[in-house]
Every structure is written in structure tokens, then in C-alpha cells.
Amino acid sequence: MSGKATDKSVSLGATDRTQGDATATFRAIRHYLAVGAALAVALVFGFGGWAAMASLSSAVLGSGQVAVESNIKRVQHAEGGIVAEIAVGNGDRVEAGQLLMQLDGTAIKADRGIIAGRIAELSARRSRLLVERNGGDEAALNKALADISATRDRHEIVEGERNLYRARRQTTDGQSDQLQQRIGQIGEEIQGLRAQLAAKSSELELADKELDILSGLEKKKLVTTRQQMAAEREVARLKGEKGELAAAIARAKSRISETRMQIFQLREEFHEEVLEDLGKTETALSELLERKVAADDQLRRLQIKAPQSGAVHRLEVHTVGAVIAPGQEIMQIVPHDEQLIVEAKVAATDIDQIAVGQDAKIRFTAFNQRTTPEVDGTLYSIAPNVSEDERTGAQYFLVRLRPTETVSNQLTETALTPGMPAEILVRTGSRTALSYLTKPFADQLVRAFREE
């Protein structure tokens, strides 16, 4: 019995110890849970308070590159051509107006020579026609052709026009002289007719007197009626002949008028012909002068000169005799002593957050970031319209930033050159951390409620 009692007491003691250990473990777990819950509550309220109260700077990011304020000048040629001389190389510093490259002008010079010869020919013709229009003599023609004949290779042209003037003058003067001679002949004919008319008038006067005498004698029966009738016939015949002579004189005068009209028409036709030729000549001359201006411009542009002072960059042609295509970029001139700026692309969705005058941070990614910190700048230009990236299709606005004067002077001492990559950060204000966390969800809810 005593042994059973002892076993029972031992069993009860073990059970009590087990229950005590479980209670202790439960209490420990509850303690840890309480501490964890307290820490969680503290963390939530602490982070929430920080998120609601902490102010974080907001900014718009963009990427771009260093540029010059006046832009890099691209050197091109409108017509292209064959390279005759290359006067510069990459990196050379040039001044505005300095010769960069010479193109071959053989074809253009030949064409201009043809145009110049044709202009001289038409100018000589115009001078001759003006003298003919104004009725000038050969002395006036020589004076008009003096400027053209001063050039040796134009002597044949001048002599040709002078000979043509003489030939045309001789032709018109000859025709006019013939008509004038005809008028003189008709005038002499009229004088003869007038002499005959005067003789007929005298003869008729005598016949009238004779008829009067015979009429008186016939009444006295001293002459026969036949004699009186013969006298009357003579008077009638003389009157008829006198009338024919008067009509002949009138016809001769009419022929003189017609001949004078022929002279007038001859001169008028010549004048009209001169005016017509003069109009055609001046039209052709005007066209040739325009072509000459174009040819002179082409000759002038055979010398490709620097549009401004700067350094030669990206020279594309290195061989004499190479062919340049029309509009091909031959080289670039990077201006020196110009303000360096940063051109960057800003996403179209961020354009409403930036404005001219905002401060920005500029980071030149080509430099060692540990030795080249971010520099201050100011946004001074925003493109008026959106652009699209040809490669990605992304839309962006091109903006320009100018580093502050102090920073700009510091950067000048470094190897900062146009084309270097850069990143910008334009400050747009400040927001709480909670706003950053909740805004995407809020925007999503707004769009969801607006959907039909």
C-alpha cells in the first residue's frame, strides 16, 4: 500500500510540474505577442505619422545633352558637285567667312560663258534696234555699241550689228528713194499736163472768139451754116481735151498721194518690225540676265565658307574629286566662345509641372560622379509643341536649361563639350510620403468611377 501511495504522489507531482511549465510558456508567448503588437502599432503609427508629416521634394526628370546656345551650324551645299580643294580638317578653328572647301566649276563657268556671249549678242542687237526706233544715224549706233565693242571677243558681234544696220538702212532708204523719184516724175508729168492745159485754154479762148464772129456773120448770111457748125465742133473738142487734161492732172496728184502713203507705210512697217524685234530681244535679254545672276551665284557658292567662327566637326569629305550630293551635310561648325546650355527631353505627361524660370539640377553623366557633383541651372525655354521620338515613338517636349554663371565658369575648365550626355531634375515642389503612396490608388479609383 505504501508503495502505491508513493507512486501516486510522484505522479501528481509530475503533473503539477508539467502544468506549471505550460503556464509559464503561455505567459511568455503572450508577453512576446503583446510586445510585438505594441511594436507593430508603434511602427504603423510612427510610419503613418512620418508619411503624413514628412515633406519630400518632387521633380521632373529628363535626359539630353550639352549644346551651344546659338546651335551648331551644319554646312551644306544646295546643288552639290565635285570637290576641287579641301582647306580644313576636323578640329581646325575657323573664322566666319573663311574658305572651307572649293568645288569644281568647269561646267558652271562654261555655261556662264555661253550666257555672257548671248547677252552681248542681244545687247548689241538691242542697241541697234533702239537707234533704228529713234531714227538715229550710224554715229549714234557707234556710240551705243561702244561699251560692247570694248571687249575683243565681242568685236564680231558689234561688226555684225553694224553691217546689219547699214544693210537695213540701205534697203529702206532705197525703197523710199525710189518712191520719192516716182513722186518727182509724177510732178514733172503734172507740170507738162498743166502746160498743155494752159495751151488748150488759150486755144479754146480763140475758138470761142472765132465762133462769136461766125455767129454774127451767119445772121447776116455772110457765112454758111456749115462753117458755123464746124466752129462749134472745134470749141466742143477743145473743151473736151481741156477736161481730159484737168482729169489727168487730178489722177497724177492722186498717184502722188498714194506714193506718199506707200512711203509712210514703208516707214511704219519698218518701225513696227523694229518694235516687235525690240520686244522679243528685251524679253530674251531679261531671261538671260536672270540666268547670269543664277550662274554668278552658283560660281560664288563654289567656295564653301564658314557661316560663323568655331571649330570644324564631323568633316564628311576627305578626298579631292569626291562627289557631294545636293543638300548633303559636309561638316559642322561648333561655335566657340558661346554659352553652353543643356537641351533635354521631358515626357509630354510631365509638361504641366514645369515652367520657364524654374530651378533645376544638372548632372553630366560622362564625368566621374564622385568628383563632378550636380550643378545648378535654370529652365529658360520650353518647346511650343510636342515632338515624337522616331525610334521609340515616345512623345516629349524639348526644353533648354542654362547653368548658373558660376557653375558655367567652373565647367569651362573641364572637358565639357557639345554633345555630352546630361540628365536634368527640375524641381516642381514638395509632397508628403503618404501622398506618393496613395496617389496611384486614388488616381486608379477616379478612373474606375469615371468609366461607364
Say if 17 falls within a structural domain. Answer: no
Phi, psi (deg, nearest 5) at residue 351: -65, -25
pLDDT digits (tens, 9 = 90+) for 290-299: 999 999 999 9
Q: Give the tens place of pLDDT for each residue, 129-138.
A: 999 899 888 8
Instruction: Measure the CA angle with vertex 149, ends 145 and 154; round to 5°.
Output: 120
Q: Are residues 321 and 265 in the same domain?
A: no
What confidence tens digit (pLDDT) does each residue in 32-71 have? 677 677 777 667 666 555 555 554 556 788 998 888 877 7
Statement to judge: residues 158 and 287 lie in one domain: yes
pLDDT digits (tens, 9 = 90+) for 228-275: 788 778 888 888 888 898 898 999 999 999 999 999 999 999 999 999
Report pLDDT for 49.
57
Give the H/E segment covering residue 355. none
CA 94 remoteness from chain centre:
28
Shared domain check, 404 and 324: no
Question: Does residue 286 share a domain with residue 148?
Answer: yes
Going by DSSP bridges, is the β-strand pair 387-388/93-94 parallel, antiparallel, or unpaired? unpaired
pLDDT of 11 over the 90 cut: no
Is residue 124 domain-shared with residue 181, that is, in the same domain?
yes
Half-sphere exposure of 439 (CA within 13 A, CB side): 8
Q: Three-state SS string across 26-68, please?
A: HHHHHHHHHHHHHHHHHHHHHHHHHHHHCEEEEEEEEEEEEEE
Distance CA 147, CA 154 (A): 10
What is the phi/psi pair of residue 220, to 5°?
-90, 0
311 and 192 in a common domain: no
Query: Is residue 82 located within the same domain as residue 155?
Result: no
Same domain, 295 and 435: no
Distance CA 65, CA 82 (A): 35
Band of the pLDDT at 407, cuts 50, 70, 90?
A: low
* Cα–Cα–Cα angle for 288, 294, 298, rounded to 5 degrees: 140
Residue bearing the bigger pLDDT, 192 or 12: 192
Report pLDDT digits (tens) over 371-380: 666 788 889 9
In tens, the pLDDT along 242-251 reads 889 889 899 9
Higher pLDDT, 336 or 13: 336
Q: Does 318 lie in the same domain as 285?
A: no
pLDDT range class, residue 155, cuts 50, 70, 90: confident
Q: 254 and 348 share a domain?
A: no
Write the burial class of residue 121 (CB in 10 Å: 0-12 exposed, 13-18 middle, 19+ buried). Answer: buried
pLDDT at 16: 53
Rounded Cα distance between 264 and 97, Å, is 63
Q: Which is it for strands 421-432 and 303-305: parallel, antiparallel or unpaired?
A: unpaired
Same domain, 326 and 346: no
DSSP state of 410: H
In a domain, 186, yes or no: yes
In the 3-class helix/strand/coil scheme, how is 78-91 assigned residue by residue?
A: CCCEEEEEECCCCC
Block residue for cell numbers 501516486: 8
Domain, as residue range, for 84: 74-97+307-331
Determine, yes or no, domain membership for 319: yes
Per-residue confidence band for 10, with pLDDT thresholds at 50, 70 and 90: very low
pLDDT grade for 367, boundaries at 50, 70 and 90:
confident
pLDDT at 284: 94
297 and 201 both lie in a single domain: yes
Q: What is the model's pLDDT at position 433?
A: 53
| CATH code, 429 | 2.40.30.170
Cell representation of residue 93: 578653328
The domain tally of the chain equals: 3
CATH of the domain at 127: 1.10.287
Burial of 245 (0-12, 13-18, 19+ CB in 10 A): buried
Q: What does 262-289 look like in DSSP terms, one character per residue?
A: HHHHHHHHHHHHHHHHHHHHHHHHHHHH
Q: What DSSP assignment string belongs to 129-144?
A: HHHHHHT--HHHHHHH
pLDDT in tens, 195-229: 888 888 888 888 788 777 777 776 777 767 777 78
Position 57 in a domain: no
Least confident of 116-130, 137-151, 253-267, 331-345: 137-151
